[in-house]
Amino acid sequence: MKRTPVLLIAIGLLTLIIGGVMNLTGGAPKASPALVQQCQEKMRARNADDALIQQCSETAFATAMTAIDAQAAAQAISAANNSEDGRSFVSMFLVGLGLALFLGGIFAWRKQRG
């Protein structure tokens, strides 16, 4: 029973780190190279600035800029946003769980010590 607080602290830190890395490295889903190329060509034809051309790597933006059919574009953008929301939920859950385990381990360790 003496190792339980240390184990909680270790698992909490590991979970917190994994969730933090997922949160920091996450972002908008990337578009396929063909879609990026098509989007960049359309944006250059519209004389868009470089900041907008850089956004062509994101699936939702590239789909919106190259869409011919509004219904298909809406479905593609919705699917891209849903996958991003799921990843964000998992990363924030891991951060919260890691923080709870870490703090619980610290409190248990302090209680056990004194």
Which DSSP string corresponds to 16-81? HHHHHHHHHH--SPBPPHHHHHHHHHHHHHTT--HHHHHGGGBHHHHHHHH-SSHHHHHHHHHHHH
Average pLDDT, the chain: 84
Q: Does residue 20 carry a pLDDT above 60?
A: yes
Q: Which band of pLDDT confidence, cut at 50, 70 and 90, is reported for residue 4?
A: confident
Please name every residue paired with 58 in a beta bridge, in sequence order, or none if there are none. 30
Average pLDDT over residues 21-36: 79
Which residue segment(s) compose the domain that 19 sits in?
A: 4-113
Q: How far apart are CA 31 and CA 8, in angstroms?
A: 40
Is 105 in a helix, a strand, or coil? helix
Q: How many domains does the chain have?
A: 1
Q: Does residue 1 carry a pLDDT above 60?
A: no
Q: Does residue 43 carry a pLDDT above 80?
A: yes
What are residue 30's phi and psi, to 5 degrees? -85, 145
What is residue 28's predicted lDDT score, i.e. its pLDDT?
A: 63
Task: Look up the pTM and report it.
Answer: 0.61
Q: What is the pLDDT of residues 45-94, one digit of tens each?
A: 888 888 888 888 887 788 788 877 888 778 877 877 777 777 788 899 99
